[in-house]
Amino acid sequence: MEQRWANTSRLTINEKQFIEEALRSEIRVDGRRLYDYRRLTIKFGRYRCLPRATILSCKCYHLRFSLFCCNCREDGSSEVQLGETHVMAFVTGQLLQPYRDRPNEGTLAIFTEFSPMADPSFEPGRPGEAAIELGRVIDRGLRESRAVDMESLCVVAGKSVWAIRVDLHIIDNGGNLIDAANIAALAALSTFRRPECSVGGDDNQEIIVHDPEVRDPIPLTIHHFPIAVTFAFFHEGNTLVIDPHYKEEAVSGVRMTVTVNSNGDVCAIQKAGGEGILSGDVMRCLRIASLKASEMTTKIKEAVETYNAEVALKKVKRHPSLIAQKITVPDVEMKEASFQKTKELSADMENSPNQTSTSLTTTKDKDTNASIGRPLNWDPYSSSAPAIVSSSTLPELVGTSKDANEDQMMQTDEEYDPNLKKDQIASATGVSSGIHKQNSPPKSLKDAVKPKHKRKKNAERGAR
């Protein structure tokens, strides 16, 4: 029964001949040119939950440290899509004993999972040849080329170091798994943050791992980005393509993976079996690969930068909400002010994009649902209305609220209206605090707005 399934990845003779013939005219299965990569999308984990710390006492080394569960924070997870290939990477860290011959270096381990969902021929259980080969190539590229700084991961030499573990899950096999998995590992390592720890305590032997809420976690030091570029050869080495599709992989007899970085250093070369390639062709591949590597490095770095900027934004907005929640306001006056404010805001909902962020607040209050449909008599002098939000935060909210809309298209939940939408947007963009600032303590902000509002209203009445 299993054999039938394994055979589904074998191509028919017609398909094989078609692919080979088309390549003679430099035409590929999906319309790319010979040296083109497929479209690359890098996404990072955006889910967060409250971290937990448990106290663990380890008698043998007289160390008492709190083991922090790193796997639910947003750091260290990436999802890479290279055309049809889909790979996820998760990075976690733990404090462990170092290896005997390297007492002052941390460790990096890469685990590869060829999930049976990626390909009907992938079997669960023991990893096959391809899985082991992929793991080794990425390991050589990342670890043995010293891309990640190991010595900074040492906490107490000889006793306790950070052991970083990278789990690669292949979700969808569209070909060229090595390149995609390498990018995923690099992206995840770039965004991984380990908690800060210091040595202290009574006998200077205790390791204290600080809560990430208290002290910002630290990123890993990555010296260079080794990028894997896979080549597939056809027609006895006369035609070579980059980033082979899984159908091209099945047709070609020879494959070679070259791991280079943007400095031009060769980190690893893998050519396992198959027909021989001329050494001139190998040199040509190296030159092409170094060009591709610099392109890929910029793409990864851009994606990481964008993500880090989002995370930093989230951190900035957090503090005001924590303070604002403590203020309470009497209800009666508040309702009136909120009603008027939201009527004004809804008048300008279509006019200015700046209001999109505040329009989200209107959906939160229960009494605004009625106000949006009514005819609006207010003179839209509402340039004064968003005085609640400082000018610096508004444009940022605009950018992220657009993301919220895009994500909401994916999430089709319409139940449990007002409160749930808030959570939805919050979890979608991760800019929860920014919107919380306007929603969850609406009392405090409206309290601030109230006097201005009444003044304007009186001024307008006085003018008429």
Partner 1 sequence: MEDRTDGRNANQLRPLGCSRNILNRAHGSARWSQGNTIVLAAVYGPKSGTKKGENPEKASFEVIWKPKTGQIGKQEREYEMILKRTLQSICLVNVHPNTTTSVIVQVVGDDGSLLPCAINASCAALVDAGIPMKHLAVSISCGLMEEGSIILDLTKSEEEKLKAFAYLVFPNSPLSVIDKVHSSKEEPIEHGIITSVSYGAMPVSGYFDCLERGRAASAAISEFLRRSLQKQSSDDASRAAQ
Q: Which residues bind partner 1 (CB under 8 A)?
A: 1, 4-5, 45, 47-50, 52, 71-72, 84, 86, 88, 90, 92, 111, 113, 115-120, 124, 165, 167, 169, 171-174, 410-416, 419-420, 423-424, 427-428, 440
Closest approach, Cβ 414 to partner 1, in A, equals: 8
Closest approach, Cβ 134 to partner 1, in A, equals: 17
Separation of alpha carbons 78 and 13, rounded Å = 38
Q: Which residue, 308 or 424, has its beta carbon nearer to partner 1? A: 424
Burial of residue 206 (CB within 10 Å: 0-12, 13-18, 19+) is middle
Say how many Å lie between the first and final Cα of the chain, rounded.
85
Closest approach, Cβ 447 to partner 1, in A, equals: 20
H helix or E strand, kind and range, residue 364: helix 355-364
Closest approach, Cβ 439 to partner 1, in A, equals: 10
Q: Which residue, 92 or 359, has its beta carbon nearer to partner 1? A: 92
β-pair type (197-200, 206-209): antiparallel
With contact defined as beta carbons under 8 Å apart, do 174 and 80 qualify?
no
Separation of alpha carbons 112 and 138, rounded Å = 10
Q: Which residue, 333 or 413, has its beta carbon nearer to partner 1? A: 413
Closest approach, Cβ 138 to partner 1, in A, equals: 16
Separation of alpha carbons 245 and 11, rounded Å = 13
Contacts of residue 129, defined as CB under 8 A and 6 or more positions apart, other chains included, come to none
**Alpha helices, DSSP H, located in 107-226:** 129-139, 177-191
Closest approach, Cβ 57 to partner 1, in A, equals: 20
Q: Which residue, 346 or 440, has its beta carbon nearer to partner 1? A: 440
Separation of alpha carbons 345 and 384, rounded Å = 10
- Exposure string for 409-419, b = 16+ CB within 10 A, e = fewer: eeeeeeeeeee
Token pair recorded at residue 286: 């190296």
Q: Which residue, 22 or 72, has its beta carbon nearer to partner 1? A: 72
Q: Which residue, 125 or 375, has its beta carbon nearer to partner 1? A: 125
Q: Which residue, 290 or 321, has its beta carbon nearer to partner 1? A: 321
Token pair recorded at residue 338: 């909120």
Separation of alpha carbons 16 and 446, rounded Å = 69
Q: How far is CA 439 from CA 131, 331, 443, in A?
A: 48, 15, 9
Closest approach, Cβ 36 to partner 1, in A, equals: 19
Contacts of residue 121, defined as CB under 8 A and 6 or more positions apart, other chains included, come to 5, 6, 7, 8, 9
Q: Which residue, 239 or 325, has its beta carbon nearer to partner 1? A: 325
Closest approach, Cβ 395 to partner 1, in A, equals: 26
Q: Which residue, 65 or 90, has its beta carbon nearer to partner 1? A: 90
